[in-house]
Structures are given as structure tokens and as C-alpha cells.
Amino acid sequence: MLGEIHSCESELWEELVMFLFDLCDEALITVGTESESALITEWAASCGRMIEVFENERDPIYDRWVCVG
């Protein structure tokens, strides 16, 4: 689960996510908002990774959007 991704620190989150992609063949990342999941998808695409995103209706706050790939 990532914390909230705000514009002022999105570069830091991007760096951490890219490091995770370097370490793992497959990663599961959860975020709180759909716009944050779009960032994860965008960052993954920039390094040639495909991400599947789906909504986790069981968690209304923190782990609402799941990114796998």
C-alpha cells in the first residue's frame, strides 16, 4: 500500500515504484484513489510493464484500487 500521492512528492513515489519494478517480476500495489492508480499505470508503461487495475470494494479508504503486474 502506498501512501497518498500528492503532486509535490510524486517524483519520490515514482522513484520508489520504479525500484519495486526493478526488484520484482510481478508487483501488487494498492492505493486509495483511481487517479493514483492511473499514475502507477503510467509509470509502469514507461518501463514496458503492463498493469491491471481493479477496484477493491471491500476497503472503502486505503486499499481501494489494486494494481497488479
| Ordered per-residue pLDDT tens for the chain, 69 residues | 888 999 899 999 999 999 999 999 999 999 999 999 999 999 999 999 999 999 999 988 889 999 999
Would 47 be classed as within a structural domain?
yes
Would 21 be classed as within a structural domain?
no
Phi, psi of 22 (to 5 degrees): -65, -35
Would 23 be classed as within a structural domain?
no
Would 32 be classed as within a structural domain?
no
Would 2 be classed as within a structural domain?
no
Residue 1 in grid coordinates: 500500500
Would 51 be classed as within a structural domain?
yes
Domain count, the chain: 1
Strands 28-31 and 65-68: antiparallel
Question: Among 27, 14, 21, which residue's Cα sits nearest to residue 69?
Answer: 27
pLDDT in tens, 37-46: 999 999 999 9
Would 28 be classed as within a structural domain?
no
- Per the structure, the complete domain to which residue 48 belongs is given by 39-69
